[in-house]
């Protein structure tokens, strides 16, 4: 996941956390996972909001990979079910 910066027509920058994926036809897209707010408002709360939310996005990526990790299941052919 990554921090996505979007500028609107009035020039305000909004931040969101997004996740990249590839469509069935091979095109890359980004899905917004969480909207964070406008950069000028977030700068009042955090010294460096972009660096802060990059760390948050990295943590979210780690948690996502742990939840969706493949698992190995061993089956003993000698055991009756």
Task: Report if pTM > 0.85.
Answer: no
CA dist 4 and 12 (Å) reads 14
Residues in the chain, overall count: 81
CA dist 20 and 51 (Å) reads 19
Q: What is the mean pLDDT of residues 33-58?
A: 94
Q: What is the mean pLDDT of residues 27-34?
A: 95
71 vs 8: which has the higher pLDDT: 8
pLDDT at residue number 75? 85
CA distances in angstroms from 68 to 12, 35, 60, listed in the order given: 35, 22, 12
- Please say if the pLDDT value at position 36 is more than 80: yes
Q: What is the mean pLDDT of residues 55-81?
A: 89
């Amino acid at each position: 996941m990554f921090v996505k910066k979007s500028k609107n027509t009035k020039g305000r920058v909004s931040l969101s956390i997004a996740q990249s994926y590839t469509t069935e036809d091979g095109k890359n897209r980004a899905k917004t996972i969480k909207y964070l707010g406008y950069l000028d408002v977030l700068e009042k709360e955090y010294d460096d909001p972009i660096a802060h939310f990059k760390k948050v996005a990295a943590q979210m990526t780690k948690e996502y990979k742990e939840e969706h990790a493949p698992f190995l299941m061993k089956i003993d052919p000698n055991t009756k079910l």
